[in-house]
C-alpha cells in the first residue's frame, strides 16, 4: 500500500499533473487513433513512459509528481490502465511519486466500489476525472455519491477543464463533447460538497473567466497550470495567480506532453511574480495533499 515518503526540503517542486499513458505490459491508456491525434495536436511524438521511467525522470530533477491515468472505458470502449497497478508501482518510488486513482463514473455502483478499494487498499491520495473523455456531466446528481465518497475520505479530485487535444482533428472529434469540461459544471459540485477539494486542471480556455469565477467564489476549488507553456497563460489567470488566488494555484505540466524543463524555462517570460512562485511550485500542492506541516486552513 502506498505511503508517501516525500522530503519537502529535498524537492524543488510538485508537479500536480502527470499522465501515465502506458503500463508495463505495453497497453496504452487511449485507443491508437486518439494517441496519434493528441501527438499531432501537441506536436510531439515522444515516448510515453511507464511509472518507473517517470519516477527516474522526476528524481533526476529533484521534483515530486502526482501520477494518474483516466478510466474512460465506457465512453472510449477501450480497457483502461489499472489505477491499482499505478499505485503499487508508485509505492516503489514514494520519495517522488504521489498516485491518484481514476474510476469511470458512468459505471455507477462499480465506480463506488473501485474508488473505495483504491482508497482503502492501495492508498491513493486523490482522484482524476476528464468529463469530456469520460463523457459525463460532473454536476449531474447521478454522480453525487462518488463525490461524497471522495469528500468523506478527505481526498482531492482533479477535473480536466477547457479545450482538449484528445480527439482533435478526428471526425466529430471522436464523439467527444467539449462542453462537458466547462468549469461552471463544477460549481454545483463545489457548492454541494464544500469539503471536497476540487482542482480545475489547465487554463480553461475558452472558459477561463468561468474558472476564475468559480475559484474566487468557492474556496474549495483550485487551478493547476498544466497543459500550456506558461508564456501562453491568459492574462486574467496570471493576474489572479499573482493576487487573490495565489494560495490556490498549482504547478502542473501534463507530462509527457509538456515537460517540466520547458515549463520552468518559459515561466521566466511571464508576469508571474517571483514571490508567488514558491507557493505555485510546491507549497500550495503540499498543503492540498496534506504533506508535511502544511494545512489547508492557511489559505485566506
pLDDT tens, position by position, 218-242: 999 999 999 999 999 999 999 999 9
248 touches 223 (CB < 8 A): yes
Alpha helices (H) in 11-95, listed in sequence order: 32-42, 51-60, 73-76, 83-91
pLDDT of residue 42: 65
CA distance 284 to 197: 12
pLDDT of residue 300: 42
Average pLDDT over residues 175-199: 98
| Predicted TM-score (pTM) of this structure | 0.94
Q: What is the mean pLDDT of the chain?
A: 94
- pLDDT band at residue 45, thresholds of 50, 70 and 90? low
Q: Does pLDDT of 142 surpass 60?
A: yes
pLDDT of residue 114: 98
- pLDDT band at residue 249, thresholds of 50, 70 and 90? very high
31 C-beta neighbours (distance < 10 Å), count: 15
pLDDT of residue 44: 64
Q: Does pLDDT of 298 surpass 70?
A: no
Which three three-digit cell numbers place residue 148? Answer: 461524497
Q: Phi and psi at residue 38, in whole multiples of 5°?
A: -70, -30
Nearest residue to 145 (alpha-carbon basis) of 113, 102, 187: 113
165 C-beta neighbours (distance < 10 Å), count: 17
pLDDT of residue 33: 85
Q: Does pLDDT of 28 surpass 90?
A: no
- pLDDT band at residue 216, thresholds of 50, 70 and 90? very high
CA distance 283 to 206: 28
Q: Does pLDDT of 39 surpass 80?
A: no
User: Which positions ≥6 away from 170 have C-beta within 8 Å?
Assistant: 33, 34, 37
CA distance 236 to 125: 30
pLDDT of residue 31: 86
Nearest residue to 8 (alpha-carbon basis) of 284, 272, 298: 284
Amino acid at each position: 500500500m502506498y505511503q508517501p515518503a516525500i522530503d519537502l526540503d529535498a524537492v524543488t517542486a510538485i508537479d500536480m499533473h502527470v499522465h501515465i499513458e502506458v503500463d508495463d505490459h505495453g497497453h496504452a491508456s487511449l485507443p491508437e487513433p486518439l494517441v496519434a491525434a493528441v501527438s499531432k495536436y501537441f506536436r510531439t511524438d515522444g515516448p510515453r513512459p511507464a511509472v518507473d521511467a517517470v519516477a527516474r525522470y522526476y528524481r533526476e530533477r529533484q521534483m515530486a509528481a502526482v501520477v494518474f491515468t483516466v478510466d474512460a472505458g465506457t465512453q472510449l470502449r477501450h480497457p483502461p490502465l489499472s489505477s491499482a497497478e499505478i499505485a503499487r508501482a508508485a509505492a516503489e518510488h514514494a520519495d517522488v511519486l504521489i498516485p491518484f486513482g481514476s474510476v469511470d463514473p458512468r459505471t455507477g455502483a462499480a465506480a463506488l466500489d473501485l474508488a473505495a478499494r483504491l482508497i482503502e487498499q492501495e492508498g491513493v491520495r486523490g482522484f482524476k476525472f476528464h468529463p469530456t473523455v469520460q463523457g459525463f456531466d460532473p454536476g449531474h446528481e447521478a454522480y453525487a455519491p462518488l463525490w461524497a465518497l471522495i469528500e468523506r475520505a478527505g481526498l482531492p479530485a482533479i477535473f480536466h477543464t477547457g479545450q482538449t487535444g484528445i480527439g482533435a482533428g478526428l471526425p466529430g472529434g471522436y464523439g467527444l463533447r467539449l462542453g462537458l469540461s466547462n468549469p461552471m459544471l463544477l460549481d454545483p459540485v463545489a457548492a454541494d460538497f464544500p469539503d471536497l477539494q476540487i482542482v480545475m486542471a489547465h487554463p480553461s480556455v475558452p472558459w477561463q473567466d468561468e474558472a476564475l469565477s468559480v475559484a474566487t467564489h468557492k474556496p474549495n476549488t483550485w487551478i493547476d497550470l498544466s497543459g500550456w507553456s506558461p508564456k501562453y497563460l491568459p492574462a486574467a489567470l496570471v493576474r489572479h495567480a499573482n493576487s487573490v488566488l495565489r494560495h490556490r494555484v498549482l504547478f502542473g505540466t501534463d507530462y509527457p506532453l509538456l515537460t517540466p524543463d520547458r515549463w520552468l524555462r518559459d515561466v521566466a517570460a511571464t508576469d508571474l511574480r517571483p514571490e508567488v512562485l514558491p507557493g505555485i511550485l510546491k507549497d500550495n500542492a503540499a498543503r492540498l495533499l496534506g504533506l508535511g506541516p502544511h494545512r489547508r486552513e492557511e489559505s485566506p
